[in-house]
Structure 1
Amino acid sequence: MSFRKLNTKGDINNLDLCYLDDFVEGIKIQSWRVGTGVRVGELYPEDAKILMRPENPGVQLSSLLGNSERMLIASRDFKEAIEKLCANLDIEYLPFTLYDHHKRPYSRDYCIINPIGTFDCLDLKASNIVWDTEKPDNILRIEEPVLDREKTRAAPQLFRLHQSPHTYVVGLELAKEMQQRKLTNVFWTRLRFSDEL
């Protein structure tokens, strides 16, 4: 049993890669939903589109499209890996057309993957957490999440951390599936358990 924190930015040093700074045209105000695991539902447009920006000139496509919106933007192969190992999970798959810098359709092979809800599995004492000094129960950020082994026994292969919903975690089986499919621009950090410290 092991888990990895998925990096949604991808390889930010490879300027040839497509990197996105925007959410779907027309509903940008709703981007918080896919950042926190809340269903977009009927708000999502049928002709959803995301545009590349001039400040990010890269156009090379990869299995995971890096982005600044903390979204999980996945290719068809990436999506199929998740569907294979997470069939019983509540996940919203939001397809869109990617437009290039000249506002021309560039790809229709991607979707935003929105796992609904969160999973509580952190060891709050062992994790490196920055707490709000004015509201002591409020977490400002988690520098290093550390897992509670007992809490993770029922963890799915893909989930969001309860205390940090924009953090995506993948299980070992899903990680192996991604490697077997040779998915590109996928980076992760192995999460430690508190009994390993």
Structure 2
Amino acid sequence: MSKRAATAGKLRFFILDNMGDQDDPDLCMLGNFIKGIEMDSWRVAEGAPVGAILPKDARLYMDKENLGIQLSSLLGNTQQMLIVHKDVKDIIQKHCGDEKVEYLSFTLYDHRKRVYSRDYFIINPLGAFDCLDMGASDVQRETENPERIVEVLEPVLDRKKMKNAPPLFRIDEDPATYVLSFELAKEISEGDFSNLLVSELKFSDA
């Protein structure tokens, strides 16, 4: 077996869907951000630090537009957050450390504003990673300014850029997309977790 063939198996990356299973109405789906810093919700979508402004008693409330209350290993949400149970958080923290990822604890409240869980964390990878082959990726650009990317419709990885990829990162041109390394995705998949949906990314030279 060639050296490239031997290493190619682990040079795999997976998008983790922060919305979870949208077809199950019983699952808890969140539409709010942390109470008191709602105007800073953009930070978790773009990988900007949040820890310094996070309230000591951080609260996140369920909302009337999403009536599901069933908890799962990942809490889907419309605020582009990555919210996971503490057991998943521990695995991520083991792989990523604390330097380039924030682990933001909060208390989840139900629709009646009662404490529902203290077992979840917002995972905030700081910054973003240049990983795409822009020639192979399907992107939508702004008409008046073609240099500006409006949306990445189909991301395709550039193998040359992936040698030093972190275990968890955001795509530079699409920072609200969360990507897992093979090793991290594998350990999570081996756990007894729910509502963690991943899809493998393609390489442009595959």
Which SS does the other structure have where 2:106 is aligned? strand
CA distance in 2, matches of 1:168, 1:52: 23
TM-score by structure 2 length? Answer: 0.93
* 2:60 aligned with 1:50: yes
CA distance in 2, matches of 1:149, 1:174: 18
Give the drift of 1:6.
Answer: 1.1
Give the drift of 1:162.
Answer: 0.7
Give the drift of 1:41.
Answer: 2.8
CA distance in 2, matches of 1:69, 1:21: 6
1:1-197 superposed matches below 5 A: 1-87=11-97, 89-196=99-206
Contact 2:27/2:69 (<8 A) preserved? yes
CA shift digits 1:80-131 (9 cap, x unpaired): 1101111265111111000001000000001111000111010000000001
Q: Say which is worse superposed, 81-90 or 38-47, in terms of deviation.
A: 81-90
Contact 2:58/2:106 (<8 A) preserved? yes
Which SS does the other structure have where 2:89 is aligned? helix
Residue type at the aligned position of 2:46 = T
Gaps of 5+ in 1: none
CA distance in 1, matches of 2:53, 2:99: 21
CA distance in 2, matches of 1:84, 1:42: 23
Contact 1:37/1:165 (<8 A) preserved? yes
Gaps of 5+ in 2: 1-10
User: Identical aligned pairs, as a percentage?
Assistant: 51
CA shift digits 1:4-34 (9 cap, x unpaired): 1111100011111100001001100000001
RMSD: 0.9
CA distance in 2, matches of 1:22, 1:57: 13
Give the drift of 1:179.
Answer: 0.9
Give the drift of 1:166.
Answer: 0.6
Residue type at the aligned position of 2:107 = T
Contact 1:129/1:143 (<8 A) preserved? yes
Aligned residues: 196
Give the drift of 1:38.
Answer: 0.3
CA distance in 2, matches of 1:189, 1:141: 18
Which SS does the other structure have where 2:150 is aligned? strand
Contact 2:51/2:104 (<8 A) preserved? no
Contact 1:33/1:39 (<8 A) preserved? yes
Which SS does the other structure have where 1:129 is aligned? strand
Residue type at the aligned position of 2:86 = R
